Structure 1
Amino acid sequence: MEQEFHRIKRLPPYVFAEVNALKAKARAAGEDIIDFGMGNPDQPPPPHVIAKLVEAAQDPRTHRYSTSRGIPGLRKALAAYYQRRFGVEVDPESETCVTIGSKEGLANLAQAITSPGDIILVPNPSYPIHAFGFIIAGASIRSMPAGQGFDFMAQLERAVKHSVPKPTAVVLNYPANPTAEVVGLDFYAEVVDFCRRQGIYIISDLAYAEVYFEGEPPPSILQVPGARDIAVEFTSLSKTYSMPGWRVGFCTGNKKLVAALMRVKSYVDYGAFTPIQVAATTALNGDQSCIDEMRARYKSRRDVLISGLEAAGWDVPSPPATMFAWAPLPPAFADLGSLEFSKILLQHAKVAVAPGVGFGEYGDGHVRLGLVENEHRTRQAVRNIKALFKDTEKVRNLLEERKIAS
């Protein structure tokens, strides 16, 4: 029997799935694909963190149910991180909650605070869960064009002025995925002042707080006086400590929003596996030299990629932060759109990237490249791309023949 599921109908086909299917098919045929498509760290966590996981897993008591809000030691470690990194005091009992990765936390917070028809303001392009977490919860999304060439505050003021009902919340993400844009405290102060006057919550995603290469370290919105009256912030260990598969994140800030998230989580999960939380505590409290090593690794890869693409004839801005380069489509292929260009790179250069349209309609003029391959593999990818650009006319002719045949 064919059924109609309302929430599923609101989710379009996952754009990345099409490229992933082509990638899997190529690899099954024995092709060597250099994969920049997903922000998936290729290095393991620090050895002392893995050792703590093993040690904790050998304690029979740690295999029982954990707690959905996170073990006390981990919440205290997160509070200590905020104090030393941002100079912000956090109450580990009422102002922070451990999440099973920031993605889960964002989705469950959306369930906690959103009613059908509520309006949520989301930058476009943005990380998909920023919009679709709220869409799944029944909200209506108002996209705000973001990135280079757009004035965020002007877009925010316009969106609030023309939204009925008044927006419930606005999502921020800096350093930004996918655009790698960074902001300072002055920006956050302006947004907080505006949203406090309008009675709008702020949901900040700070997953890339430690992945920066130049300038001042990215700030936290909670450094702004009064921000906790309306804001929460999501952080994660995934990129900082190369722990993406461990699924450890945090929601910190406004007590009302944190309590709402904890209420929902108390019904839907028992928290991450306790040994993982114990090891995550060690990551936050232990030797932090691994973070400097992580930054140096991504910076080296970034420099190899950007300089190599420039030499190949592809002008891509050097990202000041995150583990991504946000690359405008080369002029010879710009009319095709990001999805078709991603397929061309995969089929003719053996390089996988993320099509910008997967992050929203305003991302369609770009592709995202993750800094997840070592320098040797990155140089090979650049050589493949350079060879593709030399045969641009041949590739375009093949595309035309394919269109005619279909």
Structure 2
Amino acid sequence: MSHTEPVKVEVGLGDRAYDILIGAGLLLGAGIEIAGRLPGTRAAIVTDENVAAAHLETLKAGLEKGGIQVAVITLPAGEKTKSFAHLEEVVDGVLAAKLERRDVVVALGGGVIGDLAGFAAGIVRRGMNFVQVPTSLLAQVDSSVGGKTGINSARGKNLVGVFNQPRLVLADTGVLDTLPVREFRAGYAELAKYGLIDRPAFFAWLEENWQKVFAGGRERTEAIAEACRAKADVVARDEFETGDRALLNLGHTFGHALEAATDYDGARLVHGEGVAIGMALAHRFSARLNLASPDDAERVEAHLRAVGLPWRMADIPGDLPDAEALLGFITQDKKVSRGALTFILTRGVGQAFIAKDVPPSEVLSFLKASHPEWLKMSHPG
């Protein structure tokens, strides 16, 4: 791919502002970009075995080109890596390499590695510099931007962590060519989410151009840049998620419940697929509550279908727990306030809002009506 000038998006956080650079060939330019912002640093690259096989040597060469000495910490791939044991392994690796506070931890990987390495950078030596080099579409448009870092506990996902903003995000669009198409699709769900929250023109653009986004090139770079602009705007307004940053959870309340219901089995459902079904359900639920037109729900479902994403619970292989059990997962995922639930609902495409008083009885009857078992009974054969 050609090495055109990357697109730059700034995350405006005053003296902690940072750039997101988006374009092809950024791994090889990483050393120049980092050394220009953090002169005289050494680096610990944190990565996983799968990403290391594909991209570690390129990034090492890129860092060394900028005069940056490198230590490497390679972890197993997968969600289970977001644990206390692997956090300790990263912290110990950084200390063993004798890196100092002004040195940099570089996260090379998807969301799991970014979350874990960012948390380690936030606590080792009471805080070191941190650079995100996301290698999945989902990480490039979502988890690498905004400073949320952490690990999972036996009691749930992402319950231990810190807000720790990176000094730089390098989103190399070329590395996405090595992603399996299912993973690319899953990341695309988060891309579409930004259009559905408050950028209806972006959603319409994706309806026209999604095949070009999948193919790579200028449209892919522009789509990722627009998603990063959308997220950067929200983060600048509400860094610590006390207000409208919660809009970024569109589709996630239903989606997290479905992930839990499938026991986080990636063969059945990966995170972005859960979000896709969750976004379709959020639009369908909003129509059921007479907040939005059913035409909007159908439009969202049609786009997800066209892209090849699942859009209803019946698309998940295997059996699902009943509606009551699904509601139980929802009430665990989101805090219940005086018996009412918080959801991100919508008044139409690009008109999402935070609804803090959704009655569980409404959610339950909707889950029953959307459940594959009910659909089988109501449409036999």
TM-score (norm 1): 0.34
| Bigger Cα Rg | 1
TM-score (norm 2): 0.36
Q: Which has the higher contact order (CA 8 A, sep 6+)?
A: 1
